[in-house]
Structure 1
Amino acid sequence: MAEFHDDSVVLDIHDRPSIGHWFGLSIQHLFAMFGSTVLVPILVGLDPSIALFSSGVGTLIYILITRGKIPAYMGSSFSFIVVMQSLMKTTGYPGIAQGTVAVGVVYLIVALIVNFAGSAWIDKALPPIVVGPIVMVIGLSLAGTAATDATMRAVSATKSVYDLKYFAVALITLAATIVYNMYLKKFISLLPILLGLITGYIVALLFGVVDFTPVTQAAWFSLPDFQIPFVTYHPQFYWGAVLSMAPIAFVTMTEHMGHIMVLNEMTHRNFFKDPGLNHTLAGDGTASIIAGFVGGPPVTSYGENIGVMAMTKVHSVYVLAGAGMFAVLFAFIGKLSALIRTIPSPVIGGISFLLFGVIASNGLKVLIDNKVDFGLKRNLMIGSTILVIGIGNASLQVGGYTFSGLAIATVLGILMNFILPKHAANEEANGDAK
């Protein structure tokens, strides 16, 4: 059977561009994901170079496991920031590493189940009333971090003071990012986060809150700060880290499947059938496992790169693979890593005001798009429980282990969805047919 070829696109999935075009198109994808991918490690306290490296390697692994049939880029996931920030304070990277590997293992287990039982059960476990509030929690629970970054200047290891200059830098960064989102056109409109970071950095330089010394002292080429078990650290098992991060994998799976649906529409194919959802989940999971073993955060497919493909009509997997290769190369440029590390907290705070709000708004969009009826007590109970426990970070401490509020909220949401009846007793008594 001849391979399907979409004549409406510039380059279809298996079309190979010329060397010159290949370079430009791949760099374009690198820029599209760059701002978000390096922002995650900055917020958590990881090495941005490792995030670039793991995203590039993860993309290449994903393309390999999906048999070169799906054009997708794997970048740092924002869904785990809250838990990773908490783990960074208690366990350091070893705990994050185990949680990241556990996330990948969950993906592989689900991929195995899907291979034998299909995927209908995922929709039952994670309906919109569960997914929407959880995504909202991911964004809103980070609001305090954004506000602190935007307003507080550290004067010592234990003390911070309010700084109006910091807040001014944050607001200018926020305003610039909003303008870029609203008024730019064509490809450059896909880079609002990166452009916002650059603008905020320049403003911070003018305000005198940037220390450029590390950049001048850094070597042009240097190894990323790899964190490899039994090589750079001796691991011990952290149940709390594993059980805090693993449940969130079910949330990111819904995002993953949503991206596959968009790609299906865009490329006029059905990737759920060929190469199959089991292969796409296995590719995503394996990429996260590799990230955990080298020192990076969990990775997930990136909507930014899907946006680039939609606009350019270039769907070639060779272009995405090229972007992955460039990401790996950039990870070894020492001055780039040092430059990223000098981005001051008010710039990150200004970007975070918008970014974390957009994450929360996407959760609200899930509820609206699926017309979730909060007139039903069942939906009201599930949504309310997830929101307050998650945003309030009502963590569970058992022995020496701590399970984040987000993890608890995710588990409770899934359980309530299975346990609660469709209608409350008084709704049935009143003949409520909604």
Structure 2
Amino acid sequence: MSKEESFRNPDAVLDVYEHPGLGQGVLLSLQHMFAMFGSTVLVPILIGLNPSIALLASGVGTLVHMLCTKFKIPAYLGSSFAFVATMQALMKTDGYPAVAQGAIASGIVYLIVSFVIGKIGSAWVNKVLPPIVVGPIIIVIGLSLATTAANDAMLKNQKYDLTYFGVALFTLVMTLIFQMCFKGFTSLISIMLGIICGYVLSLFLGIVDLSGVEQAAWFSLPALDVPFISYHFKWYPAAILTMAPIAFVTMTEHMGHIMVLNSLTKRDFMKDPGLHKTMLGDGLSTIIAGFIGGPPTTSYGENIGVLAMTKVHSVSVLAGAAGFAILFSFVGKVAALIESIPMPVIGGISFLLFGTIASNGLKILVDHKIDFGEKRNMLIASVILVIGIGGAYLQLGNFQLTSVALCTIIGMLLNWLLPKEAASERALEERRAQEGKIYQ
């Protein structure tokens, strides 16, 4: 048994290095693919790219990330939303070649940061991101997506729809029933079973659009849009300068997701395999996506939610999901069938997945016995939560610092600048000490 395998997380049904049987593994991997599919194909649809390319890029990128991290981290990489607004603007002015150069540049930024961290180490991470900062940030990562989940569950063409909300609640309830009232493998695939139940109800209610399935071919090669082959080469410095800095935003989200995974698996991936390795994998994945015609990639909170719900942390299950993503990018009808899953079904599942991420942030605060009677802790957590969940962001020209990134930076600054003890608390302690001396 290797050094890594000498420790087993007692809370896990399957730990990081363990493997399910073939039949169970297929279903568990499909469950992860269902969880990430909606968001991964939504990004290219919003931008005007080929969804099959994004699916292929996510699968290949995830496997590359696993290779870089020595198959130690159960993470899935999908299309990043952080670049959407910038890519939409670039597509209107210069087309995909500009987007591709920007995506590749943002990946190169990851590689540079990875090299620097590899030289100086990541011990500083625990100092600038202690539990009082990490816990609220993880809560924000989950709850900042709450509005997205609610909108998916309730809105049809931007208007409230009771049928949609009913489907979302039915999907959620069925998932909870499978999770709590069944044993063994049925409980482990509760998310996938909930999606299937929601999909069947949607079929009966007539809110599933199957036209895409009918039109899709059984087998089709993804239309790779390689910018340096498909087009006469031209530099787009504005695109590079606009997209490259956004990499620093997604890095903070990347570290937040690693911290959630640390909490779930009871490991420290910042040390082993190392933050520089996870950054390297993320950067290479984005570069590959840029080269083949897809959007930049990032680690996915949806899949972390599945890990938290099922307690199946096996890397091989995520690798299987990546394999299915690659396979289905070539099978038009299957990809179209998954793409036809109605948004209220996704919304109903998201209530659970995003909430589970937030709950893990609370668990960090409880496990580390954070005392909110201390004014300093109360202030740091309060500011992080309101900025992050409220959706505050910093806009400087075309550069936007998202709410998650902004609250992370402000949380780190508060932890650095605020004194360990408030002046009123020090005065109270001094008075008590003096009173103690008098009574003695």
Q: Same fold, TM exceeding 0.5?
A: yes
In structure 2, C-alpha distance between the alignment counterparts of 1:305 and 1:148, rounded to whole Å: 21
In structure 2, C-alpha distance between the alignment counterparts of 1:379 and 1:407, rounded to whole Å: 20
Instruction: Report the equivalent of 1:75.
Output: 76
Could you tell me how far 1:329 is from its partner in structure 2? 1.6
Structure 1: which 5+ runs fail to align? 155-159
- More displaced stretch, 281-290 vs 126-135: 281-290
- Which protein is bigger by CA-based radius of gyration? 2
Instruction: Report the equivalent of 2:11.
Output: none
Equivalent residue in structure 2 for 1:252, among 241, 245, 254: 254
Equivalent residue in structure 2 for 1:410, among 378, 392, 408: 408
**Structure 2 CA distance for partners of 1:150 and 1:28, relative to 1, 3 Å:** closer
Instruction: Report the equivalent of 1:213.
Output: 211
In structure 1, C-alpha distance between the alignment counterparts of 2:309 and 2:385, rounded to whole Å: 33
Residue 27 of structure 1 aligns to a residue in which SS?
Answer: helix
Matched, 1:147 2:146: no
Instruction: Report the equivalent of 1:190.
Output: 188
Instruction: Report the equivalent of 1:27.
Output: 26
CA contact (8 A) 2:189 2:310 kept: no
Residue 406 of structure 1 aligns to a residue in which SS?
Answer: helix
Please give the per-residue CA displacement for 1:110-140, whole angstroms capped at 9, x wherever unaligned.
5334432332101112122222222222222
- More displaced stretch, 325-334 vs 99-108: 99-108
Could you tell me how far 1:207 is from its partner in structure 2? 0.9
In structure 1, C-alpha distance between the alignment counterparts of 2:44 and 2:142, rounded to whole Å: 18
CA contact (8 A) 1:223 1:332 kept: yes
In structure 2, C-alpha distance between the alignment counterparts of 1:118 and 1:186, rounded to whole Å: 42
In structure 1, C-alpha distance between the alignment counterparts of 2:270 and 2:397, rounded to whole Å: 42
Structure 2: which 5+ runs fail to align? 9-13, 433-440
Could you tell me how far 1:211 is from its partner in structure 2? 1.5
Q: Which amino acid aligns with 1:41?
A: T
Q: What is the root-mean-square deviation in Å for CA atoms of aligned residues?
A: 4.2
Please give the per-residue CA displacement for 1:45-68, whole angstroms capped at 9, x wherever unaligned.
6465445423321233234334xx
In structure 1, C-alpha distance between the alignment counterparts of 2:161 and 2:271, rounded to whole Å: 55
- More displaced stretch, 303-312 vs 131-140: 303-312
Could you tell me how far 1:220 is from its partner in structure 2? 0.9
CA contact (8 A) 1:200 1:347 kept: yes
Instruction: Report the equivalent of 2:129.
Output: 126
**Structure 2 CA distance for partners of 1:110 and 1:168, relative to 1, 3 Å:** same
What does 1:341-352 align with in structure 2 at a 5 Å threshold?
Answer: 341-352=339-350
Could you tell me how far 1:147 is from its partner in structure 2? 2.2
Could you tell me how far 1:383 is from its partner in structure 2? 1.6
Could you tell me how far 1:421 is from its partner in structure 2? 1.6
CA contact (8 A) 1:73 1:305 kept: no
Instruction: Report the equivalent of 1:165.
Output: 163
Please give the per-residue CA displacement for 1:307-355, whole angstroms capped at 9, x wherever unaligned.
899869x87x6x8756544431222111122112222222222222222
Aligned positions, number: 411
Instruction: Report the equivalent of 1:37.
Output: 36
Please give the per-residue CA displacement for 1:140-183, whole angstroms capped at 9, x wherever unaligned.
222222222222221xxxxx332221111111111112222223
Percent of residue pairs identical: 45
- More displaced stretch, 234-243 vs 300-309: 300-309
In structure 2, C-alpha distance between the alignment counterparts of 1:165 and 1:180, rounded to whole Å: 23
CA contact (8 A) 2:41 2:54 kept: no
Instruction: Report the equivalent of 1:361.
Output: 359
Matched, 1:279 2:280: no
Residue 332 of structure 1 aligns to a residue in which SS?
Answer: coil
Instruction: Report the equivalent of 1:394.
Output: 392
Could you tell me how far 1:360 is from its partner in structure 2? 2.1
Q: Which amino acid aligns with 2:356?
A: V
Residue 370 of structure 2 aligns to a residue in which SS?
Answer: coil
- More displaced stretch, 288-297 vs 409-418: 288-297
Could you tell me how far 1:422 is from its partner in structure 2? 1.3
Please give the per-residue CA displacement for 1:233-274, whole angstroms capped at 9, x wherever unaligned.
986427665545523423432533664687687xxxx98777
Please give the per-residue CA displacement for 1:407-431, whole angstroms capped at 9, x wherever unaligned.
2222211222222221122222222
Instruction: Report the equivalent of 2:59.
Output: 56
**Structure 2 CA distance for partners of 1:192 and 1:12, relative to 1, 3 Å:** closer
CA contact (8 A) 2:61 2:285 kept: yes
Residue 219 of structure 1 aligns to a residue in which SS?
Answer: coil
- More displaced stretch, 391-400 vs 43-52: 43-52
**Structure 2 CA distance for partners of 1:230 and 1:199, relative to 1, 3 Å:** farther
Could you tell me how far 1:203 is from its partner in structure 2? 0.7
**Structure 2 CA distance for partners of 1:379 and 1:251, relative to 1, 3 Å:** farther
**Structure 2 CA distance for partners of 1:276 and 1:382, relative to 1, 3 Å:** closer
CA contact (8 A) 1:177 1:196 kept: yes
In structure 1, C-alpha distance between the alignment counterparts of 2:23 and 2:402, rounded to whole Å: 42
In structure 2, C-alpha distance between the alignment counterparts of 1:150 and 1:13, rounded to whole Å: 32
In structure 2, C-alpha distance between the alignment counterparts of 1:308 and 1:403, rounded to whole Å: 30
**Structure 2 CA distance for partners of 1:384 and 1:221, relative to 1, 3 Å:** same
- More displaced stretch, 232-241 vs 325-334: 232-241
Could you tell me how far 1:232 is from its partner in structure 2? 7.5
Equivalent residue in structure 2 for 1:222, among 220, 223, 230: 220
- More displaced stretch, 22-31 vs 356-365: 22-31
Instruction: Report the equivalent of 2:172.
Output: 174
Instruction: Report the equivalent of 1:157.
Output: none
Equivalent residue in structure 2 for 1:425, among 407, 423, 426: 423
Q: Please, what TM-score do these two structures have when normalized by structure 2?
A: 0.76
CA contact (8 A) 1:51 1:76 kept: no
In structure 1, C-alpha distance between the alignment counterparts of 2:17 and 2:34, rounded to whole Å: 28
